[in-house]
Structure 1
Amino acid sequence: MSASPPGLLAAEADASLLAPFTTWPDGPDGAALSQFQVGGIHCAACSGIIEGELLKLPGVAEARVNPASARLALRWRPSHVALADVLAALKAVGYDVTPDVAAPARELRRQEKRQALWRLFVAGFLMMQVMMMATPAYVAGPGELTSDLDRLLRWASWVMTLPVMLFAAAPFFRGAWHQLRAGRLGMDVPVALGIAVTFVASSGALFDPGGVLGHEVYFDSLTMFVALLLLARWFELGARHRAAEALEAVAGALPTAAERLRDDGTSERVVPEALRAGDHIRIAAGEAFAADGVVLSGQGWVNEALLTGESAPVAKAPGDAVVAGSVNVDAPLVVAVQRVGEDTTAQGIVRLMQQAQSQRPLAGGVLDRVAAGFTAVVLALALAAGLAWWWIDPSRAVAVAVAVLIVTCPCALTLAAPAAWLTASGALARRGLLLADLSALDRMCTVETVVFDKTGTLSEDRLTLRHHWARGADADVLLGMARGLAALSRHPHARALMDGTPAGVWLDVREVAGRGVEARDATGRRWRLGAPAWVSPQLEPDARLAFGCADCVLWVDLAEAPRADAADAVAALKAAGQRVRLLSGDQPVAVARMAEQMGIADWKASATPDSKLAAVRGWQAAGERVLMVGDGINDAPVLAAADVRIAMGQGAMLARGAADALLVSNRLMALPQALRLAHKTRRVLRQNLGWAALYNLACVPLALAGWLPPLAAGIGMAASSLFVVLNAQRLAR
């Protein structure tokens, strides 16, 4: 018997290790998709370094790094390369990497934040001391500051600048070194070069005031520049960590144990991974649901902030759906498990957020290339400026070159897009709309038409009692009996009648497929609940359901209940100038009723998937950009054809790859909010890019002319980066 390959054995041994942060989108025999948190990322060029290094490894098919969220998505084959080799490869080029499982990722962020704070503190504190040492030279009158005291103060400034250079500014030098080794020009290169040239020139002027470097020192400008840039990166780090913490809040919502009910009435405590579909679990007040399911018994309130972002509890009764991670507020509930583990809504949310945060949209890649080219131009421009000023005034050549390097650093340019997209996607997630494709934000800005499906989209995915009437008996008495029998059936029509009424005493209960449920009462009479034609030969045109025996019949009209905020959402879309249309496969009467309730004039009933697809393509051919909202079950073809695709619902639909976004909160008001936020994101992005361009256009000529000292250049560059990050944070509101 042949031995297994060592790599395969390693992969089998690591299967349990990979499970918490790895999925297998192509099946167990395909490539794995693993998520990692990366420490040490400072700019977009770091993404290229990491991606390039990983693609050198055998078995790595794809590597994507989002510099804004510091997340790595790796598509690879564990049978070809060990996880330890992946981590070691990135460690060798200067990046700390940990699998994105909550505890290690939190520890990595804690260390990164602590180190960044220490660097900022050292730079800020010593900057103040150096500024204090430099102040007498600025304010002293002629003859008031002796040469010995001036030289002592300069030496003190140099000594206090050393920790800034060796510790606080270390990330810039390390980042520049990694970028140059990888053959890339990131924003750390001009920053590190500017810092180094300023320090060397100032040290030369201190050691030899009569030498070629002149007598001016810039230790105050240097320390202030480092402190301001570290402050900008501190804000950027905070935004990135908040995005990761939002993801972990969802991932950490699941409980560590569940109470499973046995058939004999006893219970046992098990881990959530041991649950299976069909199990019955009891959730005490204050506990979180361990799986997705349906309430079997009990009534109470549930906090579903996991889905909606709002802490207001939601009433739950028998027949209502509950999701893993939500919290039972006040009364015990017994739930029939439907989905467990990776199939739950909570895990679907985690996967979607990981996917979105690992993306770098096409525009982001373009900006990275622009920034790299811009850096090369900056280095050439600084060199030319230094040489030119060497002939004009050698004492100012270094200062001018440094000012050009600092003022033109492309920090703001490379942060402009990722900061805006990441903040906007987080804001939408808090509203219950999870983006699977960040580019959908840009496409939303072009949408002119919003098309809704009816069932499960504008309406709830359940029926409600609209009207009931009877022949031969009291209608309300029969309704109470019907509700008791309905409690013994899981058919959607039966669930529409349920209101918590006890089932009562029914004998010989039998479910007839396609017909309904029948049983005998205590007196022996046989009753049926189901299709009107099956229950009674007398037919009522408006009845969807009937209940009765040989001498009395109850007819029930069931109707779809519109979502609570559907009408408000449609009105908001129309007020924003959107065309709103309704496409449904239901009967014209039901569609017309829903359209009238929603205020939608343009509707089509009895639409097949093919006719829905033809309608959307017809509108697109007429020049309209279409956003389609469907339940993700029967609407797959038309969703795939739309310009922007949003799927409703929970559970299995979270795994759908056709949708750009998933509305897990089922709150339709998130749609007009998303369109408004998309336009706001585009404005913020343009503001960020416009600011970066305007800042460079205004400051580069001043630096070349020698009118912008390094201190002012450092303030301007750090301020531009701060402006970009803080401006993007407006999208979080």
Structure 2
Amino acid sequence: MSNNKKHSSHSHHNHGDMDHSKHDHNEMEHHGGHHDHHAGHDHSGHGGHDHHHHGDFKEIFLKSLPMGIIIMILSPMMGISLPFQFTFQYSDILVVLLSTILYIYGGKPFYMGAIDEFKEKAPGMMALVTLGISVSYFYSVYAVIAKYVTGEHVMDFFFEFSSLILIMLLGHWIEMKAVGEAGDAQKALAELVPKDAHVVLEDDSIETRPVADLQVGDLIRVQAGENVPADGTIQRGESRVNEALLTGESKPIEKNPGDEVIGGSTNGDGVLYVEIQQTGDKSFISQVQTLISQAQSQPSRAENLAQKVAGWLFYIAVIVALIALVIWMIIADVPTAVIFTVTTLVIACPHALGLAIPLVTARSTSLGASRGLLVKDREALELTTNADVMVLDKTGTLTTGEFKVLDVELFNDKYTKDEIVALLAGIEGGSSHPIAQSIISYAEQQGIRPVSFDSIDVISGAGVEG
């Protein structure tokens, strides 16, 4: 099978039929999500504060929580006192101090994100969140100052301000966690390659060496059941090698001296002596890792659209908020007008838009990957909704790749069904071929004892006789 085919098959539908492949893929995907969230969305909030990993959001949220709760207890919501709220003399001064700390500390990821968005002339979600928290904060500070300076009672928005910041921080923490959780696709692939290799020295003794120190031309020994440490050619030994995770071919492939093996594939029950041909960046696994990282950095069309809509939403929200301000100033008074303005800006935060699309993309790539489907180009995923014909190649694409005997049909009445199965299981006893193994395990399940043969010959390319 040509290398080109391996690549294409890998990129589109890597059917890892083995459990560990599922696990590894499961890790891949998600990361996909993470990146794309940043790159794709670049709602620069995230693009801009890429360093604000969900760990940071978690920390900021947990540190902001006590301040936010105290503010909510000490300041009435919309001017309505709730049963858990109380105030005392100068409690509003305490609220202003706490809110200032909360605004500077808790609001930082949002206004830093907003600055990045404005630098790129693409205000989006971060700009909206910043607008909502800033308007409510500054107006509330003004309200408290007015109360002490002029004595008039102006309603403040500290309750709304602190709850908004806490909800946004929580939302981002959950989002980062969901998108970033599954770890890194490249790392998952790298874990397939063992850390150490057994190098055969001149005098046939074995030295264990880190894979990173392997040189092209080294001879290594791969024990039964181990993963192959690097791409190479078999010098001696025969075995079956499972390359499902790398090529999508689910049945273990027979390997003899002179055949190539790929780093990361799993050796079956024979011992192989392999001469290293490729190491490091040139190896098959590295090339696939590069492919994945490129795929992850490409945003999908839906995300680009979400980003555009968030941008339009920013302008629409600001215009609508200003209209509300003017109209309510005419109908009622300034405090009422500001309430409606702030409410408009707060409600306009497009969190659903910012969260939903990347999460759905991450989740769908994740579900696909856990079933052995690696998405190379996320736009392709969106285009599949319009597909009406699907063409598949390779065995194991739609099957598990495990052979089973489904039915035994007799063409004459010299033997009973059980006798035929006993004969077949006996003659296949010496073979490690997957189909032979399936016949043997069928006999075991039926409780049929294989017939023992005196001599069995394997006829190359034709079958067995005994």
TM-score category of the 2 structures, normalised to the smaller one: 0.5 to 0.7
Q: How many residue pairs were aligned?
A: 377
- 1: CA distance, partners of 2:399 / 2:107: 58
Q: Deviations over 1:594-647 (max 9, x none)?
A: xxxxxxxxxxxxxxxxxxxxxxxxxxxxxxxxxxxxxxxxxxxxxxxxxxxxxx
Aligned to 1:166: 104
Secondary structure of 1:208's partner? helix
The question of 1:441 aligning with 2:384 is answered: no
Q: Is the 8 A contact 1:257 1:269 kept in 2?
A: yes
Aligned to 2:6: none
Aligned to 2:296: 357
Aligned to 1:193: 131
Query: What amino acid is the match of 2:229?
Result: A
- 1: CA distance, partners of 2:292 / 2:303: 18
- 2: CA distance, partners of 1:429 / 1:423: 10
The question of 1:235 aligning with 2:232 is answered: no
Residue 372 of structure 1 deviates from its aligned partner by 1.0
The question of 1:412 aligning with 2:355 is answered: no
Q: Is the 8 A contact 1:204 1:213 kept in 2?
A: no
Could you list the runs of 5+ residues in structure 2 that have no partner in the other structure? 1-31, 402-423, 438-456
2:341 paired residue among 401, 425, 432: 401
Matches within 5 A, 1:540-619: 558=462
CA RMSD in angstroms, aligned pairs only: 4.7
Aligned to 2:157: 218
1:116 paired residue among 38, 54, 57: 57
Aligned to 1:680: none
The question of 1:134 aligning with 2:75 is answered: yes
TM-score (norm 1): 0.44
- 1: CA distance, partners of 2:130 / 2:39: 13
Aligned to 1:44: 41
Query: What amino acid is the match of 1:154?
Result: D
- 1: CA distance, partners of 2:203 / 2:182: 46
- 1: CA distance, partners of 2:376 / 2:132: 40
2:311 paired residue among 372, 385, 410: 372
- 2: CA distance, partners of 1:203 / 1:180: 26
Q: Is the 8 A contact 1:293 1:336 kept in 2?
A: yes
Secondary structure of 2:184's partner? helix
The question of 1:388 aligning with 2:388 is answered: no
Cα 1:264–1:412 shift into 2, 3 Å: same
Residue 429 of structure 1 deviates from its aligned partner by 2.5
Q: Is the 8 A contact 1:43 1:188 kept in 2?
A: no
Residue 44 of structure 1 deviates from its aligned partner by 3.2
Cα 1:95–1:220 shift into 2, 3 Å: closer
- 1: CA distance, partners of 2:81 / 2:305: 45
Query: What amino acid is the match of 2:374?
Result: L
Aligned to 1:280: 219
Aligned to 2:22: none
Query: What amino acid is the match of 1:427?
Result: L
Q: Is the 8 A contact 1:212 1:395 kept in 2?
A: no
Matches within 5 A, 1:224-303: 224-262=163-201, 264-272=203-211, 275=214, 279-284=218-223, 288-292=227-231, 296-297=236-237
Residue 367 of structure 1 deviates from its aligned partner by 2.7
Task: Name the one with the larger helix percent.
Answer: 2
Residue 407 of structure 1 deviates from its aligned partner by 0.5
1:423 paired residue among 351, 357, 363: 363
Q: Is the 8 A contact 1:214 1:395 kept in 2?
A: no
- 1: CA distance, partners of 2:387 / 2:312: 34
Cα 1:386–1:150 shift into 2, 3 Å: farther
Task: Name the one with the larger strand percent.
Answer: 1
Query: What amino acid is the match of 1:191?
Result: V
Matches within 5 A, 1:678-717: none
Q: Is the 8 A contact 1:352 1:435 kept in 2?
A: no
Cα 1:249–1:133 shift into 2, 3 Å: same
Query: What amino acid is the match of 2:105?
Result: F
- 1: CA distance, partners of 2:436 / 2:216: 23
Residue 237 of structure 1 deviates from its aligned partner by 0.9
Residue 283 of structure 1 deviates from its aligned partner by 3.2
Cα 1:283–1:377 shift into 2, 3 Å: same
Aligned to 2:391: 451
- Which deviates more from structure 2 when the two are superposed, residues 270-279 or residues 217-226? 270-279
Residue 299 of structure 1 deviates from its aligned partner by 6.2
- Which deviates more from structure 2 when the two are superposed, residues 247-256 or residues 232-241? 247-256
Q: Deviations over 1:433-462 (max 9, x none)?
A: 22111112122222222334468978999x
Aligned to 1:30: none
Q: Is the 8 A contact 2:36 2:297 kept in 1?
A: no
Q: Is the 8 A contact 1:199 1:222 kept in 2?
A: yes
Higher relative contact order (CA 8 A, sep 6+): 2
TM-score (norm 2): 0.66
Secondary structure of 2:374's partner? strand
Q: Deviations over 1:505-560 (max 9, x none)?
A: xxxxxxxxxxxxxxxxxxxxxxxxxxxxxxxxxxxxxxxxxxxxxxxx9966549x
1:205 paired residue among 132, 139, 143: 143
Q: Deviations over 1:294-321 (max 9, x none)?
A: 775376998x896699xxx997875498
- 2: CA distance, partners of 1:222 / 1:291: 57
- 2: CA distance, partners of 1:450 / 1:293: 35
Q: Is the 8 A contact 1:291 1:324 kept in 2?
A: yes
Cα 1:400–1:558 shift into 2, 3 Å: farther
Cα 1:294–1:200 shift into 2, 3 Å: same
- Which deviates more from structure 2 when the two are superposed, residues 275-284 or residues 366-375? 275-284
- 2: CA distance, partners of 1:159 / 1:39: 38
Percentage identity across paired residues of the two chains: 26
Secondary structure of 1:157's partner? helix
Residue 205 of structure 1 deviates from its aligned partner by 1.3
Could you list the runs of 5+ residues in structure 1 that have no partner in the other structure? 1-34, 50-66, 71-93, 97-107, 462-475, 484-494, 500-552, 560-733
1:179 paired residue among 90, 101, 117: 117
Secondary structure of 2:353's partner? helix
Aligned to 2:420: none
- 2: CA distance, partners of 1:326 / 1:242: 26
